[in-house]
Structure 1
Amino acid sequence: MGKMEGQEEMGFYGDQFDTNNIIGREKEDSGSDNYDTVSVEDVPEGASQIKVKGRRKRYHRHTPQQIQELENFFKNCAHPDEKQRLEIGRRLGLESRQVKFWFQNRRTQLKTQMERHENVVLKQEYDKLRIENIAIKDAMRSPLCQSCGGPAMLGELSMDQHHLRVENSRLKDELTRVCALAERFLGKPITDVVGPISLPGSNSSLELSMGRGGLSGFMSSPASLPMGHNLENGVSSNSTMTNSMSGPVSTEYEKTMFMQAAMAAMDELLAMAQTDSPLWFKGLDDGKELLNHEEYLKKFSGFIGMRPCGFITDASRETGSVFITSSELVDTMMFPRRWQDMFPCTISKATTVEVLFNGAGGNRDGELQLMNAEFVFPSPFVPFRQEKILRYCKQHSEGMWAVVDVSVDMIREPSFSGSSIKSRRLPSGCIVQDVANGYSLVTWIEHVEYDENCIHQLYRPLLRSGMAFGAQRWLATLQRERDCAAIFMSSRIFPEDTTVGAVTQEGRRSILKLMRRISNNFCSGLCASSACRWEKLQVGGLGADVCVMSRVSIDEPGEPSGVVLSASTSVWLPVTRQHLFDFLKDEKLRGKWDILANGGPMEVIARLSKSHDGNNCVALLCPPAAPARESNMLILQESWTDRTSSFIVYAPVDSTSMESVLRGGDSDYLALLPSGFAIADAAILPNVLTLANDNGDGGGTGGRGASALTLGFQILVNSLPTAKLTVESINTVNDLMSCTIQKIRDSLGVN
C-alpha cells in the first residue's frame, strides 16, 4: 500500500513533482506579510504595545512592486551584505532592518519547501524498498533449487547463499525485461542482434514492472508479471506466484500487481474504444463491427497468451445514447446489487470479494475491486458463466468515466492448461461521457474467449453474433431499463394504460422492484444459476433437451415454502421473433396455449406501459373461469423486447396482496414462482420454409426468419420442505411443457 499512497500524493498516474508550482505559490506568500522583531525600548511613550517576554511583533505589508524587486534580487543573491541591504532599502523605501528580515524569511521558506520535496522523494524510495522487501520475503517462502528448478529447503542453504540466489534471480528477471524492451523497440528479437542469449527460469515475483504502455508492454516479459511462459529450461516462470495467489488476496504485493494489471487493462479498453482504431472493421454482410484479430494480436498478444484449445473469440463494440449520467452509471457498475438489478436476465449473481483500492477524493476514481459474477443467458442450452474479475474505475476528464473488467485468471493462469474454466474475460467494459439533459454517450466493449463445445448447436450462431453476451445485449438492456424506469416512475399516462384506482408513485416503485425480482428468478430457473441453489435431476424417460431441477424453499422471503420444481427447454420455430412475441403477449389469444385460461381470453385488470411503443408493459390479468375468480387468483405478467431478445414472464398472485403492492406496500414478501418465455433470433435452417410475417422485422430477413423459444415453468409440488420429490410430479411438469409447445405450434401453423 505504501507505494500506491506515495503515488497518490504526487499524482496517481505518474505526474512528476513540480517545484516551480510550489515555489510560485509560496512566492505570493513570501512578501505579502513581513514581521520583524524590535526591542520594547524602541516603542515611543504612550504608544500601545503588546509585550511577549519583553518583545513584540510589528506588522509590515510590502507592496507588490517591492516584493517583485526583492524576489528579483533574491534570485541572484540570497545573502546580501549590509551595503547591499542599504541600497535595496533606499531604492524601495524600506529600512535596512526590514530588508534583512525579508531575506531571512525568504531563505527559511525556501529551505522548508526543499525539505518537503526531499521528504516526498524519500517516502517514494521507502515505499519502493518496502514493496521489494515484501517480494523478497514471498520468494524466500518458496525458494527454487538452482540445479533442478524445484522447491528447495531453506535448511539446505545458508542465508548468504540464499540471498545471493535471490539477487541472481532478480538480475535474470531484469535481463529478461531488458531483452523484451529491446525487442519491442528494435522490432526483432534481441538474439538476432547480439546472438543467442540463454534465459534461465526466473522468479518473476521479485520484480515489479511499472510500465503503462498497454497490456502488451505490461505483460511482454516474464518479469513484468508471472504469465506462466515456459522458458528454455522448461521451468514455468510463474510457479511461485501461482502458488502464492491461490488463496485470498492479502499481501500488498499482490494488490499492487492487480492494480498494474487493471491500469494496463484500462489502456487496452481505451485503445479499443477509439473510433478510428484499426482494431475494428465493418462486416460485409450486415455492416456490424468485427475485431481485426491480426491487428489485435500485434498490439496486445503479450497479455492474452495462447488461446486455449477449443475456445473461440466473442468481441463486439456498440455505442449509443442512454438516459443516465456518467456518475450514476459508474456507481451502478461498482455496486454489485445495483449492477445486478440494472441487467436482469444477464447477471444472476454478483458479489464483491475485496475492495483492493478505494477511490481518490471521496469518489470512485481509481477504485479497484475483486468481484465474483455469474453471467446467464435464458436457456438451459447455454451454461452460465461464473467468473472472478477485477473491476477498475477511472475518471479521465470532467464528465467522462471508464470501467474495465478483466478475468483474474488472465493474470494467474493465462494458458488455462488443465483448467476447468470454460471462459475468460479479456479487457471489457464501458466508457461513458455526459452529453446533456441527463443523457450520456456510452461505448460498450465486450471481449471474451469461451469454449464452444459446451454450447448447444441451436445457440452457437447467436453467441457468435454477439447478441447473447456481447456489447449489443449489454447496451440494449441498459437503454431499455433506463427508459423503463424514467417512464414507469413518471406520472405520464399512456393511451394503452388501464388501472384499478390510482396507482401511487410508491406503488409504481414497488411494482418495478417486484418485476425485477421475478425476471431474475425466472432466468435462474432456466440456466441452473447458483443464485437459487438449484439441483439438477437425472430422470429416465425425459428428453435429452429437457432440464429438470429442484430446490427446497424454507421461509425464503418472496417465495412459498416447500419443494419447488423447475422444468425448461428450448425449441426452434420457423417464425420471426416479433411475430412469436406478439402472439404470446396477446391476452385475447392466451387461451390457445395457457391451461390457466381454460381456452378463453383473459381480462386485463390493469396495464402499465414501460416504453413508448407499448411493447414493454406490466399487466394484471384475470382468468375467465369462475373457480379462478372465486379464489381471487390473478396473473401478474411483464413483457419486454429489444433488438437482442424478447421476454414474457408471469406468475399467479393473490389479488389482495397485489392490491397492497399497487398502493405502495412492500413487495419483498409477496410469494410467487415465475414462469414464462424467452425468445431469441435463430438461424434459418436450409430447406425449411419459414412463416412469412408482414408486421415483423424478421430479424433482418425481410419478413422471414426463425426463433429460438425457451419456456420454463416453476411449480410448488409440495408445501412441506421435508417431502420427497416424486416421479409423478416430474412427469406432470414435463407433460405440461410438451403440451404448451404443441399448442403453440398448432396455433402458429408450423407443424
Structure 2
Amino acid sequence: MENDGSGSSCNEQYASEDSKQNGKRTGHRHTPQQIQGLEAFFMECPHPDEAQRQQLCEELKLGPDQVKFWFQNKRTQCKAQEERADNLSLRGENEILENENEAMLGALISVLCPDCGGPPFGIEERKLNFQKLLLENARLKDQEKWKELFPTMVNKAKTLYVLGSELPIRENCNILRVMWEKLHILSPLVPPREFMIVRCCQEISKGVWIIADVSHNDFDFDFVNASCYKRPSGCLIQSMPNAQSKVMWIEHVEVAHKLDTHKIYRELLSGGSGYGAKRWIATLERMCERMALTSNLTLPASDWSEVIRTGEERRRVLKLGERMIMNFNEMLTMSGKVDFPQQSKCGVRVSMRMNLEAGQPPGLIVSAASSLRIPLPPVQVFDILRKLDTRQQWDVLAYGTVVTEIARIATGSSETNCLSILRVHPTQEENNNGKMIAQESDKDDMLMLQDCYMDALGGMLVYAPMDMATMDTTLSGADVKISDIPILPSGFIISSDGRRSTVEDGGTLLTLAFQILVSGKTSRSREVNERSVDRVSALISSTVQRIKGLLNCPDQF
C-alpha cells in the first residue's frame, strides 16, 4: 500500500521584518504545493544561486528569506540524518566488539593448559564449545546475507540486535532481529527508502517457515525516514517435492514518495512494481537459480568458453560477477561523496570519491548517471544493448573495434541471464564481403566482464574492463581473494515505465551509470580540476544521444 504524504521539518520560516522588529516571531507554514516545488528543486540542486532562488520565489510565491532559510535548514537536516546513521552503525559495531572482547577476557581468565597440569576438555565441554562455534558461525554468515540475496534491491543492511540466539537450536524457536535496511530502485533520481524493522523468523509447522517484518521506531534513532513505514510484511516459505519451495510474499508499506522522486519514476512507484511483492519474488527466483548454478562444480553443457577450463575457474568468475553487480548497485545511490549539483541541470548526476579500499582501483573515481524514458518495450531495449555487432556505436571502450564473446556462463534458466567474457580487438580489417572483422593480435587486447539478466519487471547489463593479467589471476586463484581483485563496473538498468498505454508492451526507463578512474594520486577530491567532471558528464551525455540514435528514439524522450 502506497500512501501519499506531505510535510517537512523545513517548512516554517519567519514571516516578516516587522515581526522581527517587534520582537515576535510569526510562523509561516508552506503549502503542500510549495513544499513539493522546493523538494523537487532540492533533489536537483541543493545549493541554488541567487538567480535560482529568485526564480523559485516567483514560481512559488515565497519571500527570498523563506527560500534561503528553507534550503539552509534542508541541507542541515540531510547532513544530520547522515551523521546519525553513521553514528548508529558505529554504535552497533562498537557494541559487538565490546561483547566479543568481554567474552574473550572471560575465556582467558578460566582457560587451563593440559600440559601445565590443567584438566583436558571433556566430551560435554567440547559439545558446548562446538555449539557456540556453530552459533557464532551462523551469526557471521547472517551479516550482509540479506543484501547478497537481494543485491538489486537492498543497498545496505545491518543487524543491530539478535534476541534468542543464545538459546539451543530447536524446532519452532523464535529468533527476533532488530535490523536497519536501505532499499533502492537503482537510479540516483529516486532516493532510497530506510526502515528500522523487527524481523521474526519461525518454523510455524513442519516444512513451513515464515519471515515477518514490521517497522519499529521506538528506538532513540530518529534518522529513519519518517515517510517510510513498513506494516506487517514478509514471506511464507513452504517445502515442496523434488527439492523445490513455494514462496508467498506480502509487502504492506506506507511511503510518501511524490515530493522527492523524479517525475519519470512516479508512475512506476505508484504502480507498486518498484518496491512491491512482485519485485521481491522475481529477484528471489532469479537469485535462487543463480545460486544453484554457481554451486555446480562441473562445467554444464549450457556453458561454453575458450578460457575457462575447470569448475573452480567457473566458480571464481561467477563470484567476481556477483561482486561487480553489488559494487555497481552501491555506487548508484551516490551518497556520502562529493557532488557537483550544477551538472544535474543537464540531466546528469555526477559525484566524486577517493577510493583506498581493496576491490577497486585506488585513486579518484568519478561516477556519473542519467535516466531517460524510451518508447520501446524493456525486452527490446535490452536485446539491442546486448548485441555485440552494434556495441561500438555506444560503448566508448569499443569505438572502432570488434567485440567478440570468448566465454559464456548461464546464470538462470533464460538465455538472457548470463555472465560473459568479452574480448575487444583494437584493430579491424575488411573481409571479402566488405564487413569489418577483428585482426589477430598478440598484445593490447582488452577484456570485459559482463553480467546481464532480464526478468518480468526489468533487467540489468553491467560490465567492467579487465586486462589479461587480471583475468589470469581470477582464473588461477594465485592466492588472491576475489574481493581484492580491482574492478570498476559501469552499466545500464532497464525497467518498465509503468505506463502501459504508451506502447503495446509498455515503455522503458533506462538508467546509465559510468565509473571512471580520473587520477591515481592520493590528492583530495576537491583538488581535482572540475574539467575532469565536465568530461565525464559530456561522455555520458554523448552516450545517451548515441543510444537514442541506435534505438531511433525521438528527441523529446
TM-score normalised by length of structure 1: 0.50
The residue number in structure 1 matching 2:334 is: 528
Deviations 1:459-493 (A, max 9, x none): 11211222211111111111101112223433353
The residue number in structure 1 matching 2:130 is: none
- Residue from 309, 312, 328 that aligns with 1:506: 312
The residue number in structure 2 matching 1:578 is: 379
- Residue from 498, 509, 514 that aligns with 1:713: 514
Check conservation: 1:384, 1:528, Cα contact below 8 A. no
Deviations 1:261-287 (A, max 9, x none): xxxxxxxxxxxxxxxxxxxxxxxxxxx
Q: CA deviation at 1:359?
A: 7.0
Check conservation: 1:676, 1:712, Cα contact below 8 A. yes
The residue number in structure 2 matching 1:567 is: 368
Q: Aligned equivalents of 1:569 and 1:629: distance in 2? A: 37
- Aligned-partner residue type, residue 681 of structure 1: S
Tell me: CA distance 1:371–1:493, structure 2 relative to 1, closer, same or farther (3 Å).
Answer: same
Matched, 1:548 2:350: yes
Deviations 1:571-597 (A, max 9, x none): 001111000000111112211111211
Matched, 1:612 2:413: yes
Q: Aligned equivalents of 1:722 and 1:656: distance in 2? A: 28
The residue number in structure 2 matching 1:667 is: 482
Check conservation: 2:341, 2:349, Cα contact below 8 A. no
Q: Aligned equivalents of 2:534 and 2:446: distance in 1? A: 25
Q: Aligned equivalents of 2:419 and 2:224: distance in 1? A: 44
Check conservation: 2:500, 2:506, Cα contact below 8 A. no
Q: Aligned equivalents of 1:498 and 1:468: distance in 2? A: 35
Q: CA deviation at 1:626?
A: 4.2
The residue number in structure 1 matching 2:465 is: 652
Q: CA deviation at 1:354?
A: 1.3
The residue number in structure 2 matching 1:336 is: 143
The residue number in structure 1 matching 2:251 is: 446
The residue number in structure 1 matching 2:437 is: none
The residue number in structure 2 matching 1:679 is: 494
- Residue from 711, 726, 730 that aligns with 2:529: 726
- Residue from 196, 200, 205 that aligns with 1:397: 205
Tell me: CA distance 1:678–1:367, structure 2 relative to 1, closer, same or farther (3 Å).
Answer: same
- Aligned-partner residue type, residue 745 of structure 1: K
Equivalent residue pairs, number:
402
- Aligned-partner residue type, residue 656 of structure 1: A
SS of the residue aligned with 2:332?
A: helix
Deviations 1:431-458 (A, max 9, x none): 1111122211111111111112211121
Equivalent residue runs for 1:592-607 within 5 Å: 592-607=393-408
Deviations 1:214-261 (A, max 9, x none): xxxxxxxxxxxxxxxxxxxxxxxxxxxxxxxx9989xxxxxxxxxxxx
Matched, 1:738 2:519: no
Q: CA deviation at 1:681?
A: 0.3
Quick check: which one's strand share is greater? 2
Q: Aligned equivalents of 2:536 and 2:458: distance in 1? A: 26
Check conservation: 1:360, 1:367, Cα contact below 8 A. no
Matched, 1:366 2:174: yes
Q: Aligned equivalents of 2:272 and 2:343: distance in 1? A: 35
Q: CA deviation at 1:334?
A: 8.7
- Aligned-partner residue type, residue 650 of structure 1: Y
Check conservation: 2:194, 2:225, Cα contact below 8 A. no
Tell me: CA distance 1:596–1:578, structure 2 relative to 1, closer, same or farther (3 Å).
Answer: same
Q: CA deviation at 1:664?
A: 4.7
SS of the residue aligned with 1:468?
A: coil
Check conservation: 1:358, 1:366, Cα contact below 8 A. no
Equivalent residue runs for 1:15-30 within 5 Å: none
Q: CA deviation at 1:632?
A: 4.3
Tell me: CA distance 1:651–1:570, structure 2 relative to 1, closer, same or farther (3 Å).
Answer: same
Matched, 1:750 2:553: yes
SS of the residue aligned with 2:463?
A: strand
Q: CA deviation at 1:332?
A: 11
Alignment root-mean-square deviation, CA: 2.9
Equivalent residue runs for 1:234-245 within 5 Å: none
Check conservation: 2:156, 2:181, Cα contact below 8 A. yes
Structure 2 unaligned blocks of 5 or more: 1-87, 93-137, 429-440
Q: CA deviation at 1:351?
A: 1.4
**Larger RCO: Structure 1 or Structure 2 (Cα < 8 Å, ≥ 6 residues apart)?**
2
Deviations 1:298-328 (A, max 9, x none): xxxxxxxxxxxxxxxxxxxxxxxxxxxxxxx
Q: CA deviation at 1:715?
A: 0.9
Q: Aligned equivalents of 1:727 and 1:644: distance in 2? A: 38
The residue number in structure 2 matching 1:621 is: 422
Tell me: CA distance 1:506–1:492, structure 2 relative to 1, closer, same or farther (3 Å).
Answer: closer
SS of the residue aligned with 1:741?
A: helix
Q: CA deviation at 1:545?
A: 3.3
Tell me: CA distance 1:741–1:473, structure 2 relative to 1, closer, same or farther (3 Å).
Answer: same
Q: Aligned equivalents of 2:139 and 2:420: distance in 1? A: 28
Tell me: CA distance 1:597–1:502, structure 2 relative to 1, closer, same or farther (3 Å).
Answer: closer
Check conservation: 1:661, 1:667, Cα contact below 8 A. yes
- Aligned-partner residue type, residue 726 of structure 1: N
Tell me: CA distance 1:502–1:654, structure 2 relative to 1, closer, same or farther (3 Å).
Answer: closer
Tell me: CA distance 1:487–1:334, structure 2 relative to 1, closer, same or farther (3 Å).
Answer: closer
Q: CA deviation at 1:657?
A: 1.9
The residue number in structure 2 matching 1:406 is: 214
TM-score normalised by length of structure 2: 0.67
Deviations 1:26-47 (A, max 9, x none): xxxxxxxxxxxxxxxxxxxxxx
Tell me: CA distance 1:541–1:403, structure 2 relative to 1, closer, same or farther (3 Å).
Answer: closer
Check conservation: 2:402, 2:426, Cα contact below 8 A. no
Q: CA deviation at 1:333?
A: 13
Equivalent residue runs for 1:178-189 within 5 Å: none
- Aligned-partner residue type, residue 357 of structure 1: G
Deviations 1:110-156 (A, max 9, x none): xxxxxxxxxxxxxxxxxxxxxxxxxxxxxxxxxxxxxxxxxxxxxxx
Structure 1 unaligned blocks of 5 or more: 1-245, 250-330, 691-700
Equivalent residue runs for 1:128-527 within 5 Å: 335-358=142-165, 360-363=167-170, 365-409=173-217, 411=218, 421-452=226-257, 453-490=259-296, 491=298, 493-494=300-301, 497-527=303-333
- Aligned-partner residue type, residue 720 of structure 1: K
